[in-house]
Amino acid sequence: MFAHSDNGLHEPVRLEYSYQFQCARGSNFNFVNKNKSMLATVSDKQYAADARYTNFYAGHDIAWAENGEHIYCLNGDVVNQVNVETSQIVCSFGVNVSDGSEKSKTSDGLDDAKMDEDNIYCFAMSREHLAVAHGSGLLRLWELSTKKLVKLWKSQHKGPVVRIEFSTCGNFICTSGGADATIRVWDFTNNSCLCALKDYPGPALLLRFHPSPLKSEIYAAGADNTIYCWDYATKTLLHKLRGHISQVTGISFKSTAAECDQLVTVSRDKVLIAWQLNADSNSTWRQSKVIPLYVELEGVAHIADGAQVVVACRSGKLQQIDTKSWKIRDLLVDTDFEISRLLYCSTRQQVTLITTEQNIIVYNVSTESGRAELKLVKQLIGYNDEILDMCFLGDNDRYLAVATNSKHFKLYDTEQNMNCRLICGHSDTVMSLAASHKLLISVGKDCSIHLWKLSHEIDCFLQPLTQQTNCHTATIGSVAITHNGAKGFASACQDGSMKVWQLSRDKQDRNKYAFSLLYAALAHDKEVNCVTYAVNNKILATASQDKTAKLWSADSNTLLGVLRGHTRGVWCVRFSPVDQVVLTSSSDCSLRLWSIANFSCLKRLEQECTILRVEFLDHGKFILSAASDGLLKLWNIKTNICVQSIDEHSDRVWSVAVSNCSNRYFYTGGADSKLIRFTDVTETVRSEALDQRQAMLEQEQTLQCLLHAQEQLEKAFKLALVLDKPKATYDIIGSFVRKRDGVAVRQLVDQLNLDQRLVLLQHVKAWSTNSRHSYIANLILQHLLGDALVHSTQKFYNKGNLVEVLTPYVQRHFKRVSELNKDLAFMEFIVKCM
């Protein structure tokens, strides 16, 4: 029987060795069962994450590479290099992502645990290097081409560094401390501090080197809102530019030439000041123009070879000013977000606006007509916050709308590298989204309902159709739209009410839509968490914190039935796309399937924590559940078995969007701000399993041929370890033992790597269960443990391995010694009695 269980094929060869080994029957049965289960499970659904969109920018410093291909963003303890085209993180610079070279540089006695928790306060970049300043006062210099740390030193400032800047030539670094009024200039090539500039009230929140490498000038905005200019080569203060009465936020030079005689500064005092350099012997800066703009200013940049200036206003406006006539022109007015920074890339002639919500908006700037014209190129989402809801819309579910705990929701183009566009219109947080083909409905905390339509002229853009305010008396937490054509929708409120709306289209103008209230009902005693339509659009279902779910007639205010049984609040309810059943999830850690005919519970599936969201997959054959611990589970409805657990999220998963067109992929989002795409890999897993099975059979065939011919036993021994065959390994070692070739046995063990030793150790454990095979088991155990004792610095095995292997060995010898003690005591008793 053992021979039949040891291998799946080649029985005549297998039976030849069946009489030699009986002890490892269970191990080989487990191997065969494992192999069979592997082939059995490939028919089940399998999903895998193939794209992850996480936060890469948490605010503060941000820089644009000179070629415009990448943006460097500060995110806690790392600086992320982000590809502008794909919105994906290329690499990260930080202590926690170093490649090991970090330890060789930290010879100053710093604690590694503290360094791991050391956040980055600011950074700066040149063409070749990236310099970061940590809260501990350490400065690190990374080489961009190799992604390796090349320098590490202390800033010598009192307190953390709040601003860092590279010189135009890239050979010097300037730092400003947060607790001292000192600016230090470092020559990192020669490992020296060139100077410490102190004649100003610090700290300097804005540092700029003169754009010409021929000039050794540095400009710093002090705490008194005065701009100081030093010559760091001679360590002398050259100029004091007084004029602003609030924090200076931007400095821009007209040209990069050494004889540049004009610069522009902006401040939060709502004033732009143009400075002119006098040509006299004193060469002092004087105010040539003061322009009030009546709004807080956050950035400034010269474009068109210095002929024009672009100014970013905190309110979201972008203005153009001609440097000759000083006429003001609005470039961007209708925005619904606040700007915190302005970046300009002269190589690509693009302007980037950084919003207060860490969104990055890239525009092309055209100056051919003498007037700057903006064209939106890209919108990158640096920080998503919590993802509350999402849904597909458009042809073939091309677009994905995502609500992220903000009054702006995002529209992603899934076919164009997840190109994103911010959709503005709500005055408070958007809580829920629902879509049908090209129409989308959004609701939120502002108690308003907005109707949108995909634009035909502009890609990835929603055209606002109509809206109604004060539709409910409290936050609208959920909305659902009819299937197979938008004819109506339902909204649910936190006050327990539900409203059903009728959607109509103008017969003359097909682009005009309107919606009117069909009926309203007090659906539940507590907050309504979810509302959804049946596939035939005739039944509505609501789920509430009052521990119940209810079924309603979609055409009239009629309660059809109540689903009772959950012991805590119900979070989600869904209709099966093919069966007459309803699925609910609850805080009582259970999923329940209910019959629509008699409202009875048909099945109950248990999970470990609160189940926040559920969806049907693969035409109702499987259930996908998302829990508060971030775990996704895939359930087979027919067998009631969880066929897959996916651990990709680290916090609550609030939303799941399943593509109805292909049913082969879905997106998830939650409180950890991760947007993850999962794809059906069932066919791939099946193919890999079959290939693995085929390779395993070929290896088994090779092994049996080698054993039968008694040739190349060293190769056969390793192959038996790979295939996890305790019988074969025992036979090979036994053949050497019978020949009294102890050297060959020793060589077999010595040539093994750590993984192979661990497998052999498990085989020894199987052999030790039978005293008939104890000699060979003890011999191999002596070699394995002997190597571990000789090489004490190398950790061959963990304690668990040794305890499992030595337990049967010790028990057998303890039993033998106990029996000998009994016999000895009996013999001693007989001797004394004689």
DSSP labels, 77-113: TEEEEEETTT--EEEEEEGGG--SHHHHH--S---HH
Q: Are 753 and 744 in contact (CB under 8 A)?
A: no
- Residue 315 falls inside a structural domain: no
| Count of C-beta atoms within a 10 Å radius of residue 833 | 6
pLDDT at 281: 56
Q: What is the pLDDT of residue 645?
A: 93
Tell me whether residue 744 is in a domain.
yes
pLDDT score for 803: 66
What pLDDT was estimated at residue 788?
61
DSSP letter, residue 207: E
Backbone angles phi, psi at 449, to 5 degrees: -120, 125
* CA-based nearest residue to 252, from 214, 300, 180: 300
Q: Residue 753: pLDDT band by 50, 70, 90 thresholds?
A: confident
Residue 498 phi/psi, 5° resolution? Answer: -135, 140
Structure tokens at 358: 């860490």
Higher pLDDT among residues 782 and 41, named by residue: 782
Taking the C-alpha atoms of residue 543 and residue 174, their distance in angstroms, rounded to an integer, is: 59
Residue 724 within any structural domain of the chain:
yes
Phi, psi of 698 (to 5 degrees): -65, -40
Omega of the bond prior to 203 within 30 degrees of 0, cis?
yes
pLDDT at 273 over 60: yes
Q: Is the pLDDT of residue 13 over 50?
A: no
Reading the block at residue 177, the tokens are 């401390």
For 171, other C-beta atoms within 10 Å of its C-beta total 16
Give how far Cα 160 sits from Cα of 152, 157, 199, 204, Å: 15, 7, 20, 13
> Which CA distances in Å does 669 have to 483, 589, 590, 672, 675?
23, 20, 21, 8, 5
How many angstroms separate the CA atoms of 617 and 120, rounded?
43
Range of the domain at 37: 2-43+685-820
pLDDT (0 to 100) of residue 16: 32
Query: Cα–Cα–Cα angle for 748, 751, 757, nearest 5°?
Result: 85
Give 542's Cβ-side CA count (13 Å radius).
33
Between 336 and 498, name the one with better pLDDT: 498
Q: Is residue 16 in some structural domain?
A: yes
Q: Whole-angstrom Cα distance, residue 393 to residue 400?
A: 6
Kindly indicate the confidence band of residue 792, based on its pLDDT and cuts at 50, 70 and 90: low
In a domain, 720, yes or no: yes
pLDDT at residue 164 tops 90: yes
Whether this model's pTM surpasses 0.75: yes
151-164 b/e (C-beta count within 10 Å ≥ 16 → b): bbbebbbeebbbbb
Confidence of residue 602 (pLDDT cuts 50, 70, 90): very high
779 lies in a domain? yes
Sheet holding 359-366: strands in order across? Answer: 339-345, 350-355, 359-366, 373-381
Judge contact between 354 and 305, C-beta under 8 A: no
pLDDT digits (tens, 9 = 90+) for 693-737: 888 888 788 878 877 777 777 788 888 888 888 888 888 888 878
Yes or no: say if 67 and 347 are a contact pair by the CB < 8 Å rule.
yes
Q: Helix count (H) and strand count (E) of the chain?
A: 12, 56
Work out the average pLDDT over 639-651. 92
In a domain, 572, yes or no: no
HSE of 833 in the Cβ direction (CA atoms, 13 Å)?
A: 6
Alpha-carbon gap, residue 419 to 415, rounded angstroms: 8
Mean pLDDT, rounded, for 37-46:
58
Task: In whole angstroms, give the CA distance from residue 192 to residue 183.
Answer: 14
Number of domains in the chain: 1
Paired tokens of 671 = 């409180």
Chain segment 79-116, per-residue pLDDT in tens: 999 999 888 889 999 887 744 443 333 334 344 444 44
